[in-house]
Structure 1
Amino acid sequence: MANALVVRGGWEGHRPVEATDLFLPFLTDNGFDVRISDSTAIYGDAAVMTETDLILQCVTMSSIEREELAGLRDAVAAGTGFTGWHGGIADSFRASSDYLQLVGGQFATHPGKEPGCRVQDETDNFLTHTVEITALGHDHPITAGLTDFTLTTEQYWVLHDDLVDVLATTTHPVQPWHPWHRPITSPAIWTRQWGRGRIVVTTPGHNLDVLQDPSVRTVIERGLLWASRTASAS
């Protein structure tokens, strides 16, 4: 049986408990023995990390101790899969450059609606946008068979490096109230090879409704299986 570790916490606005609970039955149905931790301290437990085949992380912002991050990086380099969605993986531990290097992409912003249309709640940042599958994505096990899909939610603007393999993108248009002068395309779904480990990042996932969108849920579930050490070893 494969071992999965679910690490959740950080900013409560992303509902880390309820969000990860959505995927626990999928993990158990696919043969994972699931362990749940509400603290990143578990990353510093070498014995646990050595036997972990897959980490699902949902920890937005927050901070991480040096020993914990070293344990996470070492585990991934040794073959443990690492995955998550939205701020739970792409906006974690902002002060840690070593974490940002591991993941390969960092949330920068989510542009909002026209200022005159804002009502001062989270929906001010909900824009209708398209997630476009790349040529690589059409052939990748995580996104194969999926077509471009539209969401109305936060549209992540991501800073990233060239070591990411981009399976889907989203493009931020230029609006009169924006200071940028040409459309910006950001990775929306990507993978990354780190040592012997596989990393999968899915940027949609602000709330439970988005996580239950059929395309988003398919990507996350396939990513869980693809990232696992048991898959990469087969």
Structure 2
Amino acid sequence: MVEMTRAALVVRGGWEGHQPVRATELFIPFLEGNGYAVRVEETTEVYADAEALAATDLIVQCVTMSQITGDQVAGLRTAVEAGTGFTGWHGGICDSFRASSDYLQLVGGQFATHPGKEPCERVGDERDNFLPYTVNVTDLGRTHPVTAGVDDFDLRTEQYWVLHDDLIDVLATTTHPTQPWHPWHRPITSPAVWTRRWGAGRIVVTTPGHSLDVLENPTVRTIIERGMLWATRTASAS
């Protein structure tokens, strides 16, 4: 029997298109198998509970879009600064709480769009944005614990275009090509996996993860799971 020595908080909700319940359920056995006692919350109200967050070593968030109150985002920022780890994937972390500049600053990158297929190929559903693309591991990523040993890999799903700042450490990127039906004039490279230090806390963002099949991709899943372990509160942050 695994001894539960760490505390993880799974916070899920928001847009149902990302299947927040089923998506997070994929990773709870991994957390429990690595000694985390897991608490699940269906709203962000827990972020305003300073005592609960201070006792949490890792927050796994899957809340796309939605809204967050000022006291909730302040509580989240305070907890991460004090050492609580924060991680998630896709829109559940980098397309959350679009109206909160304090949240966007904490995460360091924000979903802008996911370019689509040629207009004549579109059918009017989410598949219009499923494109083949490559995730390229950076030089830093080849030695970082989250992505060490991971080779460049290909996906066919939403390819996130992310607006970001220079405080993130980019472990992998993806490049959006120019196409005749798009208005930009040169390829755009976006971070696909990044980490961020915030006070004593660690943040990991993985942009692939639109659907369960992507989360079950062995490489994507490995990156997310390693990110959970790396982001977890370290002894020096206790």
Shorter-chain TM range is over 0.9
Quick one: which of 174, 177, 181 aligns to 1:177? 181
Task: Show CA shifts across 1:124-150 (max 9, x none).
Answer: 000000000000000000000000000
Quick one: which of 123, 146, 150 aligns to 1:146? 150
Q: Distance in 2 between matches of 1:32 and 1:230?
A: 14
Quick one: which of 201, 205, 220 aligns to 1:201? 205
Structure 1 partner of 2:109: 105
| Correspondence 1:192 to 2:207 | no
Task: Show CA shifts across 1:77-122 (max 9, x none).
Answer: 0000000000000000000000000000000000000000001110
**Percent same amino acid at aligned positions?**
74
Q: Distance in 2 between matches of 1:112 and 1:204?
A: 16
Is residue 2–residue 230 contact of structure 1 (8 Å, CA) maintained in 2?
Answer: no
| Correspondence 1:10 to 2:14 | yes
Unaligned runs of 5+ in 1: none
Moved over 4 A (4+): 231-234
Deviation of 1:232 (Å): 6.5
Structure 1 partner of 2:216: 212
Deviation of 1:230 (Å): 3.6
Deviation of 1:164 (Å): 0.2
Quick one: which of 140, 161, 164 aligns to 1:136? 140
Structure 1 partner of 2:80: 76
Counterpart amino acid of residue 186 in structure 1: S
From the superposition, tell whether residues 233 and 74 of structure 1 become closer, same or farther in structure 2 (CA, over 3 Å): closer
Q: Distance in 1 between matches of 2:56 and 2:28?
A: 16
Q: Distance in 1 between matches of 2:162 and 2:236?
A: 27
Counterpart amino acid of residue 155 in structure 1: Q
The two structures have a TM-score, normalised by structure 1, of: 0.99
Q: Distance in 2 between matches of 1:152 and 1:231?
A: 39
Structure 2 partner of 1:125: 129
From the superposition, tell whether residues 21 and 231 of structure 1 become closer, same or farther in structure 2 (CA, over 3 Å): farther
Partner SS, residue 146 of structure 1 = coil
Is residue 107–residue 158 contact of structure 1 (8 Å, CA) maintained in 2?
Answer: yes
Unaligned runs of 5+ in 2: none
Q: Distance in 1 between matches of 2:171 and 2:154?
A: 16
The two structures have a TM-score, normalised by structure 2, of: 0.97
Quick one: which of 67, 70, 82 aligns to 2:71? 67
Q: Distance in 2 between matches of 1:48 and 1:71?
A: 10
Q: Distance in 2 between matches of 1:191 and 1:231?
A: 19
